[in-house]
Structure 1
Amino acid sequence: MAEPAPRSSVQFGGTTVTYLPDGVVRANPLAAFPGTTHTDWDSYSDLLDNDEWLVVSVGSFLIRNDAGVTLIDLGLGEVHFEVPAAATYDGGQLLTNLSAEHLYPADVDFVLFTHLHRDHVGWVSDGAGGLTFPKARHIVNQEEWNHWWSFGDPTGPDPETVLAPLTPAIEFFGTQPPVSGISALPTPGHTPGHTSFLITDPATDDNVLILGDAIHTRAQLENLDWTFRSDYDSRLALKRRTDLLYRHGESEPLIANGHFSGSVFGHSCVHR
């Protein structure tokens, strides 16, 4: 039976990448991937719970390197709710897991966003109009930011608790890496400005590819054409995730995905 991914780390050279759990989504797989059938999921029972629902981990990636302390995405926040017949959402563990790494919100230097869906921005604000990570630079793709200011959707960021607190502080990815050792890889499709990240240690050239929501489940590594229900542009999402995995597939990098159950780290099975 699938379980949410626990806190875990990989280290290469002077770089450490740690997954910090925030919570879990349990989703009806046929609702999450509308083009699939029960037969399609028969081969992936290890990704499902006892009710045959997909276990979706939710959390943040902590990167520690010479540039400082970086978080990629900010989880669900302290939420507990259900969408009948579709999914349940439970969050709230991120700060506890950050503390377990002997770090506090004021220690975070950078917050990078893959995108701004609600399960990636839950800890943006502190509940009093400020930012949870008050000293951090917060950086996102500009098209992503512009989209959510002009497009209202329940899956998107809350204007009052996310967009408004971020507005005075937000920065945008440019032509240079947003943080030394972290390259932003444009992978639009799931959202207009979705971004994946390549973490590289300068001493060893080893790296970790953080997929974001270019992929939602390990099953998609073998079924790249499976479309997630909230993809903004499903055809573009398919092209970008295929390009991303093929581009880095020859070197077989370690991949990381905060939605994987069991372990968020693994290797891509996609090859030319």
Structure 2
Amino acid sequence: MPQPATRSRITIGGTTITYLPDGFGAHNPDVLFPGVDWTTRPGFLEDGQLILSFGSFLICAGDQRILVDLAVGKIDVDVPGVAQLKGGSLLRNLAEEGLSADDIDTVVFTHLHLDHVGWTSDVAPLPNAPTTDSPTGLTFARARHLMSEDEWQYWSTRAAAMGGPDAEAVLKPLDGVVEFVRSGDSIAPGVTVEATPGHTPGHLAIVVRDPSGGSTESACIVGDILHSPAQVGDPDLVFSSDVAPDQARAVRDRVLQRPDTVIAAGHFTDDVFGRVTSVGDAHAWAPVGEAPNVIGN
């Protein structure tokens, strides 16, 4: 049965991508995917709950160390009928890689939902989980913090919305620090951002290629384009917090049809790295297996 993903790694040429777990959520599937009959989709639920992994991706490209998203943070929250959320292990897993917060050069956000910004500062960004702690600044204080301008502008006026970033714990520490990137921008050798709006207006995917050209295969860190392997086989499954569902579906189709690409899906259970196998319009998820994996060599 589905279990939260554990630490794993792939290599694209000389660039490594490591999944660093932070926690997981056990969700009411009817809240996340309204109207879906899960009895016709066996194997995706655990005791009637949809498990989502929470974590970050560490990219080591040349001398650059990049974190993609900052997971869910130090939380333990039970919202009856909705979800149980647990997090807090990101820095420990980063230390297992021999790194500290000060070793990170760049943080890039796919988007600013609360389960992707949890380690922005020292306070868990959950509006429904007040704390007496005060933010002490950015967790990754030495790093550049990158996102799309559309994402920043959207949440700057909607921070209190359900699922959005906390104004005090996330937006305030980032104000004046955040740098904006556009689709196609390079943030390290072989690492580019790609606009993938739909789930949120400024959502980004992160694409990793071999800068030497020795490997023709790439990796795509998809953020919230995909939440469950069920969406690989049925891209029409709409996630409840997609701001523009039709646009999100079109982006999902585009990603599923990318040739020679390893998908890095941080919310998936068990294996976050995999390929999409396709026959016509039918798609299936094929995990790459246990790490480390050298891709395209």
Q: Note whether the superposition's TM-score is higher than 0.5.
A: yes
Distance in 2 separating the partners of 1:176 and 1:129:
31
| Letter in structure 2 aligned against 1:5 | A
Deviations 1:171-228 (A, max 9, x none): 0113521332211111111111111111112122332111110010111001100001
In structure 1, the residue matched to 2:288 is: none
The residue that corresponds to 2:137 in the other structure is 130
- Alignment coverage as a number of residue pairs: 265
- Aligned counterpart, 2:3: 3
For residue 234 of structure 1, what is the amino acid of its counterpart?
Answer: P
- Secondary structure of the structure 2 residue equivalent to 1:266: strand
Q: Please tell me the root mean square deviation across aligned C-alpha atoms, in Å.
A: 1.4
* 1:153 alignment partner in structure 2: 161
Q: Which residue of 1 aligns with 2:19?
A: 19
Q: Is the 8 A contact 1:222 1:270 kept in 2?
A: no
Where does residue 240 of structure 1 map in the other structure?
Answer: 251
After superposition, give the CA deviation of every residue in 1:62-120 in whole Å (9 maximum; x if it has no partner): 00011510000000000111222121100000000000000000000000000000000
Q: 2:272 aligns with which of 249, 264, 267?
A: 264
SS in 2 for 1:231: coil
User: Which residue number corresponds to residue 186 of structure 1?
Assistant: 195
Does residue 254 in structure 1 map to residue 250 in structure 2? no
Q: Which residue is equivalent to 2:236?
A: 225
Higher mean C-alpha displacement, 170-179 vs 78-87: 170-179
Aligned to 2:283: none
| 1:81-96 pair list within 5 angstroms | 81-96=77-92
Give the partner amino acid of 2:19: Y
CA–CA distance in 1 between the matches of 2:16 and 2:116? Answer: 21
Alignment of 1:62-81 (within 5 A): 62-81=58-77
What residue is the counterpart of 1:141 in the other structure?
Answer: 148
**Structure 1 counterpart of 2:102, which letter?**
A
Equivalent position SS for 2:26: strand
Gaps of 5+ in 2: 124-134, 281-297
Q: Deviations over 1:125-151 (max 9, x none)?
A: 135431100110000010000000012
1-side partners of 2:167 and 2:13: how far apart?
Answer: 40
User: Contact (CA 8 Å) 2:61, 2:188: kept in 1 or not?
Assistant: no
Aligned equivalent of 2:290: none
Name the SS of the counterpart of 2:136 in structure 1: coil
State the alpha-carbon separation in 1 of the partners of residues 279 and 223 from structure 2: 20
Secondary structure at 2:187's aligned position in 1? coil
Question: Contact 1:67–1:179 (CA<8 Å) still a contact in 2?
Answer: no
Amino acid at match of 2:45: L
* TM-score, structure 1 as length reference: 0.93
Deviates more, 1:51-60 or 1:97-106: 51-60
TM-score, normalisation: structure 2: 0.86
Q: Note the alpha carbon deviations across 1:2-38, whole angstroms, 9 max, x for none.
A: 1100001112321110000000011122221003013
Counterpart of 2:110 in 1: which secondary structure? coil
Taking the aligned partners of 1:271 and 1:141, their CA distance within structure 2 comes to: 34
- Residue 167 of structure 1 aligns with an amino acid whose one-letter code is D
Q: How does 1:180-219 map to 2 (within 5 A)?
A: 180-203=189-212, 204-205=214-215, 206-219=217-230
Which segments of 5 or more consecutive residues in structure 1 lack a partner in the other structure?
Answer: none
CA distance in 2, matches of 1:271, 1:194: 28
Q: Which of residues 57, 71, 83 in structure 2 aligns to 1:61?
A: 57
SS state at 2:255 partner: helix
Alpha-carbon distance, 1:271 to partner: 5.6
Q: In structure 1, what is the Cα distance between the partners aligned to 2:117 and 2:279?
A: 33
Query: What letter is aligned with 1:20?
Result: L
C-alpha distance in 2, partners of 1:220/1:99? 33
Q: Secondary structure at the match of 2:112?
A: coil
Give the AA of the match of 1:233.
A
Identity %: 42
2:206 is aligned with what amino acid? F
Note the alpha carbon deviations across 1:41-71, whole angstroms, 9 max, x for none: 33xx2x322x221111100000001151000
